């Protein structure tokens, strides 16, 4: 996967987590930051592994290891690639997902989720009015 693929997949994973949140939780951005960081569906940071719809971690990291944007974010955090690689492909996969969060606007995702819920309620009202 390219880094852009990681960002896209991480965005989709964030949306799945936000769909499970209460309306009150969606109002607390700091809570959401922590939640998204720790949820294995998004980063895999707790378990050290994040399953992907695109395959195994070793397959996923092939392209990202040479992605300039990923390497810039990685180096910005002053991480050591050899140390991270010592933990295996899953470690790079998790790091890529964590770094991808930097490029995702939580506020925009919350707005999308709120619009999705409003539309879902409208649809439910239309359907119940027909009965």
**Residue pLDDT, tens place only, 55-83:** 688 888 999 999 999 999 999 999 999 99
Residue range 24-30: mean pLDDT, rounded: 95
Share of the chain above pLDDT 70, in %: 93
Quick check: 113 pLDDT over 60? Answer: yes
pLDDT at 49: 66
Backbone angles phi, psi at 32, to 5 degrees: -65, -40
Q: Which among 100, 111, 112 is positioned nearest to 74, based on CA atoms? A: 100
Q: What is the pTM of this model?
A: 0.87
Q: Under a CB-based contact definition with an 8 Å cutoff, are residues 100 and 7 in contact? A: yes
Quick check: 48 pLDDT over 90? Answer: no
Residue range 3-29: mean pLDDT, rounded: 96
Per-chain mean pLDDT for the chain? 91
């Amino acid at each position: 996967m390219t880094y852009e693929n990681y960002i896209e997949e991480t965005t989709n994973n964030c949306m799945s987590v936000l769909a499970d949140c209460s309306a009150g939780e969606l109002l607390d951005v700091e809570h959401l930051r922590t939640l998204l960081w720790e949820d294995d569906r998004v980063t895999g940071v707790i378990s050290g592994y994040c399953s992907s719809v695109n395959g195994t971690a070793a397959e996923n990291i092939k392209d990202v290891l040479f992605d300039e944007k990923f390497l810039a974010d990685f180096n910005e955090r002053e991480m050591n690639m050899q140390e991270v690689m010592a933990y295996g492909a899953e470690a790079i996969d998790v790091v890529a997902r964590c770094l991808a969060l930097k490029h995702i606007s939580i506020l925009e995702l919350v707005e999308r989720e709120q619009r999705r819920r409003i539309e879902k309620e409208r649809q439910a009202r239309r359907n119940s009015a027909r009965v």
